[in-house]
Structure 1
Amino acid sequence: MRVLIVIKRFSGTIGKDAILDNFGREIRIAEALKKKHKVTIIAGDHAKKESFSKDMNGIKAVVAPFSISGIPEFIGRVKEHARQNDIVIGTTHPIFAMMAYLGRCKRKFVYDLRDNYETYDFANVPLLKGGLLGRFVMRRVNNFLIRKADLAVCVSHSLMEKVSRLRKGKKTMVVENGVEKLFRPLSKASCRKALRLPAKAKIITYIGHVSKERGTDLLIRAFLKIRAREKKAILLLSGKVDSEIRINKPGIKWMALPKRIEVVKAINAADVAVLPQPLNETSKYTFPYKLMEYMACNTPVVATAIGDVRRVLAERKHGLANPNPDDLRVKILKSLKIRGENYNNITKKYEWENLGEKYSLALEMIR
């Protein structure tokens, strides 16, 4: 079967390049699907407005300029490729999914929802940028695509429950975010040495956007209380830091970690890895990449019990915390006493190869 996937090239939050950085859910799914199908990716470039093609290990990737004024031309590019494919998948953002839908040439259409897209807006469009009007328009586009899709693929069970209300019995399924084989257990001592971290300190790690939206402020408040008890404890952070977050505090260490293997080492260097999400309209429906990346390294995990995180860690309740500093502190202190975890029986089913097989079977059913 021939599959066309329409995405946006650059991530709006961290600016990662899906094509040149070989990054993101959509690329990992495409890699898994290519084992049984011929896969083409069209990546709309709203930032650099570049145009080029690239072979990504057997996947044809086409980068095309995207702008509001250039929508007709972009849809034309989608149509050109859709005619040569059996199924068209729209993902990464409702606007790019709408481009896929409008250019599908009567092919089966799959809407892949990696987030609660109702929280998205038009970041670079005057009048629609942020605010209620942008959210209203985005919600209408999102709901239209949910209703029209031949198949809706949701990143979490909580999102599937929300989406299914608009589907009226049409096929809807869950394919979570997976984990790369790069994330694996390594020697804690070796990783600390490589990153120049103290050999014997208690290290608590958080990797990701350092922001209130992701709950880093809750983690910092919990850590400062922990450090009153564990005098040499370190909170290791890595990721973009929002201006509202103050990390210049005793025991807090920030590292850039530009290479993926350095992220793996930082997780393995930790005594506890934390996912401190607050409760909001994003976290309720997401499936955090970092959860599986932490667990694949068998580092003890403490995560707030929100959305599908609660489902994944149902048998590890000592690692589930309420989204407040006090409960995070209690659960982190308990987890610091654990010498190691073994999450292999959980993480195995979240390997991209296995998730790709699940995705492939669903595509065959709507062909």
Structure 2
Amino acid sequence: MCRILYIGRFELPDKEATANRVVANAKLLREMGYEVVLAGWSEEASSSEWIKKEFFGFECYEKKKAKTSYEKFKMFADASAELELLKSNRFDILIAYDFPAVALKKIMKYCAKHRILIVCDISEWYTNSNRYFIFRLVRAYDSYLRMKVLNKKTDGLIVISEYLEKYYAGQKMVRIPPLVDKQEEKWNMQKTQLQEGIRLIYAGWPSKTKERLDLLVAAVANLAQKYPVQLDVYGISEKQYKAIYELDAESSIPSAVTFHGRVSHLETLQAVKNADYSLIIRESNRKNNAGFPSKLVESISCGTPVLTTPISNVRDYVGEGKNGFIISIPTLDQDLEQAICHRQEVSVEDGLFDYRQYLEPAKAFLDSLDR
């Protein structure tokens, strides 16, 4: 049986979107007959040595997550733990998920010498926004080396978006958006009864450069003067929201907006299930277009339509009442009102992102690799 080692800075089993993507892809590979081993990191681990665990029936390895400035700086170049796994086990393919460039280069050298195919799973094109100059410098070099040099020297690529597919045109690759396992119970929860009115939800951790939650809050405040609408925000507290958008600590939040802070992934999914729409308000830039919003995938998989700005290739899945509507930041108030008025006309294809839908393209991609 062909063995695959899937490495990255993800925290299993489902602590973040990166882990959810890796697990879904691993299930896809397992369904195709591959044996998959996962190696990430963990907040709970206290050592840089690997700790062996099992999640979802996969053999998994975890090590201490980088927390201090020194540890974060070191991770850009350190591949010793991953090389240890490669040397002590037999693997035929290595998949590196958004892996730091200098460390990746060391791994690629080892794989080439030992005839291990290397595939990069690319889900983002990172921006350079760290407040410390040295980290911005390192991040800029890392991004250049990984995105413009090393990814082009791999045996194949898994890309998350059409933007990346076009950028790496000519290479062996497959485009796979974030996926889910629709047979998991969490995607099939029942909608619970809530108060009357229109329920909107934002779930995630925004930033001023990534997501315009501040504009959404203002638009909902205006909308609430005409309709019984409520916006529930999961992922950050009111205090964190004000800090992110540099608002006065004493400034008031509209009564139509409620901040729930950080809750479990399961609780967030239940809230998404209960909502009439989930919201994604992102500006069009390289970072947002190169990636793909996992919250769109989760919302549709819960059966809840999405209102999203036209970033990445979301138009392939959302528009004109199919799984939701495309909205625009300049006309946000009007677009939200139109969506509310046409809610009953919206249909949702909740199995769209089940990993089983991607068995054929994934098989064609892996069969094309030179072994």
TM-score category by the smaller chain?
0.7 to 0.9
Change (3 A) 1:106 1:64: farther
**In structure 1, distance between residues paired with 2:285 and 2:212:** 10
Residue pair 1:186, 1:297 contacting (<8 A) in 2 also: no
What is residue 12 of structure 1 aligned with on the other side?
none
| 1:101–1:48 Cα change, 3 Å | farther
The offset of 1:268, in angstroms, is 2.6
Match of residue 339 from structure 1: 344
In structure 1, the partner of 2:365 is 362
For 2:359 and 2:223, the matched residues in 1 are separated by: 41
Q: Which residue of 1 aligns with 2:315?
A: 310
- Give the TM-score, by structure 1 length: 0.81
Is residue 210 from structure 1 mapped to residue 219 from structure 2 by the alignment? Answer: no
Equivalent residue for 2:78, pick from 71, 74, 77: 71
Query: What displacement does 1:127 show?
Result: 6.0
Q: Superposed, which structure 2 residues align to 1:1-367 within 5 Å?
A: 1-9=2-10, 17-19=11-13, 21=15, 23-35=19-31, 36-44=33-41, 48-51=46-49, 52-64=51-63, 68=74, 71=78, 73-81=80-88, 84-95=90-101, 97-98=104-105, 100-104=107-111, 105-117=114-126, 119=127, 128-130=134-136, 132=137, 134-164=139-169, 169-181=170-182, 182-184=186-188, 186-187=190-191, 190-192=192-194, 199-212=195-208, 213-230=210-227, 232-240=228-236, 241-242=240-241, 243-245=243-245, 248-256=253-261, 258-316=263-321, 319-324=325-330, 327-337=331-341, 338-339=343-344, 341-344=346-349, 347-355=350-358, 358-366=361-369, 367=371
Moved more, 335-344 or 17-26: 17-26
In the TM superposition, residue 152 of structure 1 has moved relative to its aligned partner by 1.1
Would you say how many aligned residue pairs link Structure 1 and Structure 2?
Answer: 338
1:101–1:44 Cα change, 3 Å: farther
Q: Is the 8 A contact 2:83 2:107 kept in 1?
A: no
CA 1:76 to 1:136, structure 2 compared with 1: closer, same or farther past 3 Å? Answer: closer
Partner Cα separation in structure 1 for residue 128 and residue 13 of structure 2: 22
Residue deviations 1:292-319 (CA, integer Å, cap 9, x gap): 2222233332110122112222454871
In 2, the alpha carbon distance for the partners of 1:27 and 1:84 equals 21
Contact 1:152-1:173 within 8 A present in 2 as well: yes
Task: Provide, for residues 69-105 of structure 1, a one-character-per-residue CA deviation record: whole Å limited to 9, x for no partner.
Answer: 8826335314315x61111111133346445424423
- Residues 19 and 145 of structure 1: CA distance in aligned 2, closer, same or farther (over 3 Å): farther
1:18 is aligned with what amino acid? L
CA distance in 1, matches of 2:15, 2:189: 24
Cα deviation, residue 128, structure 1: 3.5
RMSD (Å), alpha carbons: 3.0
Displacement of 1:278 in angstroms is 1.5
Separation of aligned partners in 1, 2:259 and 2:40: 33
Q: Deviations over 1:322-346 (max 9, x none)?
A: 233xx222122112121363221xx
Aligned counterparts of 1:3 and 1:120: Cα–Cα separation in 2: 32
Assess, with a 3 A threshold, how the Cα gap between structure 1 residues 228 and 155 changes in structure 2: closer, same or farther: same
Q: Which amino acid aligns with 1:115?
A: E
Aligned partners of 1:108 and 1:150 also within 8 Å: yes
1:8-40 deviation per Cα after TM superposition (whole angstroms, max 9, x unaligned) = 14xxxxxxx224749421122112212311111
Alignment partners' CA distance in 2, 1:61 and 1:290 = 25
Distance 1:38 1:208, change over 3 A: same
CA distance in 2, matches of 1:57, 1:5: 15
Partner AA of 1:273 in structure 2 = S
Scaled by the length of structure 2, the TM-score of the pair is 0.80
AA aligned to 1:152 is: L
Identity of aligned residues (%): 18
Give the aligned residue type for 2:59. Answer: K
Q: Which range moved further: 105-114 or 66-75?
A: 66-75
SS at match of 1:76: helix
String of CA shifts for 1:121-158, please: whole Å, max 9, x gaps. Answer: 8x79x86412x553134212332222111111110112
For the residues of structure 1 that align with 2:128 and 2:160, how far apart are their CA atoms?
Answer: 16
Structure 2 CA distance for aligned equivalents of residues 64 and 99 of structure 1: 19
The unaligned stretches of length 5 or more in structure 2 are none
